[in-house]
Amino acid sequence: MPLRLIRSFPAGHGDANGLVWSPDGRYIYLANGEGYGKAGSATKIDALNPAAPVISAQNGQHIFQWRAAIAGDVLVLRASTDGSLVRYAVADMAPLWVQSPGEGHSLAVSPAGHVYAPVSASPGLLKIYAQDGGLLATVTAPEPWANTYSTVLDGNTLVVSHNTGCRLFDITNLASPVARGTLPGYGDVAIKGGRLWRNAVVSDGVPPIGVRRLECWSVADPDAPALLGSWPIPTTPDPNDPSTVYWMTIHVPVVNADATRLYVGFGHEIGSSQQTSYQH
């Protein structure tokens, strides 16, 4: 069935950086933030009628919200500037608590309501919080982490995608997660049923940042991830400037419940040995 646009509407000033659905599928929670000194907000959208969605609650107390994660009634947003975490009440978007784990851009919330927040540090850190905001554990990664692109959960496997790879953790023991295998390269990831999809950037010496491709990995054995297949993202040289290439940029991938379909967003990116810019 072809995709069909039902409705679009403005959700307020900022960027739609993170979107999550409520467990019952009625509400959308939006991490609505924009950098460069402009304010953002946490927004709740009632989408019961997809042809006429409405904003039912909004809170602009905490700005630069970048990512959102939810499990049950545990809704947490993370800021892009200082990595702070804010848990919101799902009814009216009132802040319940704020924690400052350190710089980082992503997070995950487990079905039990535990919040996983990777921290950009050398070596990288993974901080785990309870529903009430109390710190449960801090885990040291085997390698340094700069930008943490995405953090995803599948059962007892947690994946943190950072600037030089994807690190897998076994989180069976909440107080002491164990670092397992790693994937080379970086990019946003999705995981379901022992398979992991990633919009990968793999360094091969080609400016500015290497090869881009959509990958599928088996992580059934978290100590030995295996690449199952990949789709190279096509590039087109600029006819007027051979040092510049154009390619599609794959944004955060999302996999459906039974892992039979993958959804990705595309943009257009320009790259050269001197600079990289984005066009959407």
Question: What are the backbone angles phi and psi of residue 211, rounded to the nearest 5°?
Answer: -85, 135
For residue 132, give every residue at least 6 positions away whose Cβ sits within 8 Å of its Cβ, in sequence order, or none: 97
3-state secondary structure of 113: coil
Residue 208 preceded by cis peptide, ω within 30: yes
Please check whether residue 16 is in contact with residue 32, taking contact to mean a CB–CB distance below 8 angstroms: yes
pLDDT at 208: 43
Tens digits of residue pLDDT in 228-257? 988 877 666 767 777 766 655 556 677 777
With beta carbons less than 8 A apart as the criterion, state whether 75 and 97 touch: no
Q: What's the chain's average pLDDT?
A: 80
pLDDT for the residue 50? 81
- Residue 248, CB half-sphere, CA atoms under 13 Å: how many? 12
Report the pLDDT value the prediction gives residue 64, as an integer from 0 to 100: 75
pLDDT in tens, 66-79: 888 999 999 999 98
Q: What confidence tier does 34 reach under pLDDT thresholds 50, 70, 90?
A: low
In contact, 191 and 199? CB cutoff 8 Å: no
Residues 80 and 232: their CA atoms lie apart, in Å, by 30
Two tokens at 160? 């943190």
First-last CA distance in the chain: 25
Tell me: pLDDT of 51 over 60.
Answer: yes
pLDDT at position 145:
92
For the entire predicted model, the pTM comes to 0.83
Which residues are 231's β-sheet partners?
214
**Residue 14 banded pLDDT, cuts 50, 70, 90:** low
- Per-residue model confidence as pLDDT tens digits over 54-105: 889 988 887 778 888 999 999 999 987 788 999 999 999 999 999 999 998 8
Residue 264: C-alpha distances to residues 95, 253, 254, 256 (Å): 31, 5, 6, 11
pLDDT bin (cut points 50, 70, 90) of residue 125 is very high
Reported for 154-158, long-range contacts at CB under 8 A and 24+ positions apart, including other chains, are 154/191, 154/192, 154/193, 154/194, 154/219, 157/191, 157/219, 157/222, 158/108, 158/116, 158/126
pLDDT at 43: 87
Q: How confident is the model at residue 278 (pLDDT cuts 50, 70, 90)?
A: very low
Q: Would the pLDDT of 210 be above 60?
A: no
Look at 6-15, 59-68, 202-211, 222-231 and tell me which has the smallest mean pLDDT: 202-211
